[in-house]
Amino acid sequence: MSLTISEVRDIANRVKENVGRVIVGKDNVVELMLVALLCEGHSLLEDVPGIGKTTLAKALAKSLGCTFSRIQFTPDLLPTDITGVNVYNQKSGDFEYRPGPLMAQIVLADEINRAGPRTQSALLEAMQERQVTVDGVTRMLPRPFMVMATQNPIELEGTFPLPEAQVDRFLMRIAIGYPEEEEERIILRRFRTEDPLEELQPVISADEILAMGARCRQVAVHETVESYIVALVRATRESKALALGISPRGTMALYRTSQALAAIRGRDFCLPDDVQYLVKPVLTHRLIPSVETRLRGQSMAQVLEDIVRMVPVPVEENWAAAA
């Protein structure tokens, strides 16, 4: 299946409109989730309780014609609880594999930081290698495959901080934020008599998702925009406010997400604005602050803002022609 840029934009708008029947006023968040999906990356929704993290993940999953599973992470969750287990069949005399919830295309990992290190390691293999290993046998996961994880950043009791290696596997970390006053009024009225999430139907197939992703990778990135991405990344490595800057994985993430964002917005070329728009959700969680930055209480978002202001933005009269 081959799609044009306008078809990619129209399908993306259809998904956003469908999710918008449940989630009020968060088009930018849904757009970021779609970018992650088209890049076959994973999203970490991090915000305070009650904001709608789980509802957003479910609404997006129900809008996609993909297999879906939800895992409620708890401290006693074992790796085999998510990867699956081999069970002895007395009739055949053989062990049979019973798939776990990770063997779905869209996986909602609810309260991911409540699982122990062993379970986190099993999830890490699935996120990075797109496979699970049970009793020495490796099984590939279906495509597209996306983990949408939720996390409460303010609650520490009974939680296990995510290892830096695992946090880096998330393509984006997204904060939803509180609704505006009028949006909150709409939420009250929309959920007064029924839950619109129950009536949500798929508006896109798995094949369309893969075709959209393939088209996104064809979006042109001018060499000056490439240089801008590299300059931003290298500035994080040289910043005295950071103990650890962005790795090449982060560079590639910013590049690919910029392509996907441009396609969703109906362009077959990237702008520096696309890169700037994605800097925080794509890069913030990959940074390690220096001791001085921790003592000053400066956030990684503030550090990135300073870096973006410092790095010169390329100027081009016609990016489409240049691409």
Q: What is the pLDDT of residues 89-129, one digit of tens each?
A: 777 778 888 888 989 888 988 888 888 888 888 888 888 88
Q: Is the domain of 96 the same as that of 208?
A: yes
Q: Is the domain of 153 the same as that of 247?
A: no
Q: How far apart are CA 31 and CA 262, in angstroms?
A: 11
Q: Is the domain of 259 the same as that of 308?
A: yes
Q: Is the domain of 75 the same as that of 204?
A: yes
The number of residues making up the chain comes to 323
Domain containing residue 262: 220-322
Q: Is the domain of 88 the same as that of 166?
A: yes
Q: Is the domain of 308 the same as that of 159?
A: no
β-bridge partners, 19 = none
Read off the CATH number of the domain in which 245 is found: 1.10.8.80
Q: Is the domain of 233 the same as that of 102?
A: no
- For the packed helices 27-38 and 5-19, what is the interaxial angle rounded to 10 degrees? 130
Average pLDDT of every residue of the chain? 87
Please identify, among 193, 212, 231, the residue that sits at the C-terminal boundary of a domain: 212
Residue 156: predicted pLDDT: 60
Rounded mean pLDDT, 293-309: 88
Please identify, among 169, 196, 212, the residue that sits at the C-terminal boundary of a domain: 212
Q: Is the domain of 61 the same as that of 194?
A: yes
Structure tokens given for 63: 């809008």
Number of domains in the chain: 2
Read off the CATH number of the domain in which 131 is found: 3.40.50.300
Q: Is the domain of 267 the same as that of 284?
A: yes
Q: What is the 3-state secondary structure (H, E, C) of the chain?
A: CCCCHHHHHHHHHHHHHHHCCCCCCCHHHHHHHHHHHHCCCCEEEECCCCCCHHHHHHHHHHHEECCEEEEECCCCCCHHHHHEEEEEECCCCEEEEEECCCCCCEEEEECHHHCCHHHHHHHHHHHHHCEEEECCEEEECCCCCEEEEEECCCCCCCCCCCCHHHHCCCCEEECCCCCCHHHHHHHHHHCCCCCHHHHCCCCEEHHHHHHHHHHHCCCECCHHHHHHHHHHHHHHHHCCCEEECCCHHHHHHHHHHHHHHHHHCCCCECCHHHHHHHHHHHHHHHCEECHHHHHHCCCHHHHHHHHHHHCCCCCCCCHHHHC
- For the packed helices 223-238 and 272-283, what is the interaxial angle rounded to 10 degrees? 30
Q: How far apart are CA 260 and CA 35, in angstroms?
A: 6
Q: Is the domain of 250 the same as that of 126?
A: no
What percentage of the chain exceeds 90 in pLDDT?
33
Residue 271: predicted pLDDT: 92
Q: Is the peptide bond before 272 cis (omega within 30 degrees of 0)?
A: no
Q: Is the domain of 257 the same as that of 134?
A: no
Residue 320: predicted pLDDT: 65
Please identify, among 165, 186, 212, the residue that sits at the C-terminal boundary of a domain: 212
Residue 35: predicted pLDDT: 94
pLDDT in tens, 249-275: 999 999 999 999 999 999 999 999 999
Q: Is the domain of 249 the same as that of 295?
A: yes
229: confidence class by pLDDT, cuts 50, 70, 90: very high
Rounded mean pLDDT, 15-19: 91
Residue 54: predicted pLDDT: 83
